[in-house]
Amino acid sequence: MTLPTRVKIVDVGPRDGLQNEKQPVPAAVKIELVQRLQSAGLTEIEVTSYVSPKWVPQMADNHEVMSGIQRQPGVRYSVLTPNMKGFEAALADRPDEIVVFGAASEAFSQKNINCSIAESIERFAPVVEAARAKGIYVRGAMSCAVGCPYEGEIAPERVAYLAGLMKGIGVQHVGVADTIGVGTPRKVQAAIEAALQHYELNDVSGHFHDTYGQALANTLAALELGVWQYDTSVAGLGGCPYAKGATGNVATEDVVYMLHGMGIDTGIDLNKLVDAGAYISAQLSRKSGSRVATALLAKCAG
């Protein structure tokens, strides 16, 4: 078994992590969070999304945030664009990458975006085509790749089906997402292997939620397959709306600590990352969702 020697982390905290927050988070705070993340060595940051403010009011300040960040060379700034209207709005803010999302579960697709999986892909096709024509990289998020709140367990064949559809419209990279955090290592490996039927290893990433405390184990399981790219969220930002009281995305600090302990390079300064997580947690008036940050901050206080 050969583990990757280096791992690329995409911090999705500013977008995926903050989008469900009930309290409004000022644009200046989001900009400062992005600044702190890139200062800590993050080179991939999912900044915001271009969705209707009626559905996601937290992201209504997308233009202000994208205009306010101080771009650093070598850092890729991505945004979520669910349709052509969103993509056209995003263009003015010069994203390096756009993200489109589909579900491996028909029920989730219907409940979440009111259409079938195949219909959702049809909607994304012109977005992907327009982005690639302008030289903008396109990443696809495959949600509910292991389990669904409505359908239960998701068969790997469904993941392969979705990956094939995404490949067909020109999506360049896919993330295998355990959206509700029910996955365990073998199931996650099966979902990743399904995606690998259509994508090269270099074009597949993992996105694991920690609802049942399995995210680090699932990350290790993906590493064993050679997957070297992961979405994580600083301070574990991002609740799971389908599991009351559950944590959301796996904390970037926890993944980085594990990787560094395994001798795997990330290019990230863990102490600066912990500080970034402490900053946003203080802004939200709550403790960090990262076990590593909690331990390190307690050690410093002690």
What are the catalytic residues?
240
Query: Distance between CA atoms of 87 and 131, rounded to whole angstroms?
Result: 8
Q: Which residues pair with 45 in a beta bridge?
A: 11, 77
Query: Distance between CA atoms of 131 and 187, rounded to whole angstroms?
Result: 33
Query: Distance between CA atoms of 106 and 150, rounded to whole angstroms?
Result: 9
Buried b (16+ CB within 10 A) or exposed e, 267-291: ebebebbbbbbbbbbebbeeebbbb
Q: Which two tokens stand for residue 213?
A: 């405390």
Query: Distance between CA atoms of 196 and 226, rounded to whole angstroms?
Result: 11
- What letter does residue 13 receive in the DSSP assignment? I
- To which H or E segment does residue 258 belong? helix 252-261
Query: Distance between CA atoms of 22 and 19, rounded to whole angstroms?
Result: 9
With tokens 């495959």, the residue in question is 142
Amino acid at 243: A
| Count of beta carbons in the 10 Å neighbourhood of residue 160 | 18
Task: Enumerate residues 6+ apart whose C-beta is below 8 A from 180.
Answer: 144, 147, 148, 149, 209, 211, 240, 242, 243
Are 236 and 289 in contact by the 8 Å Cβ rule? The answer is yes
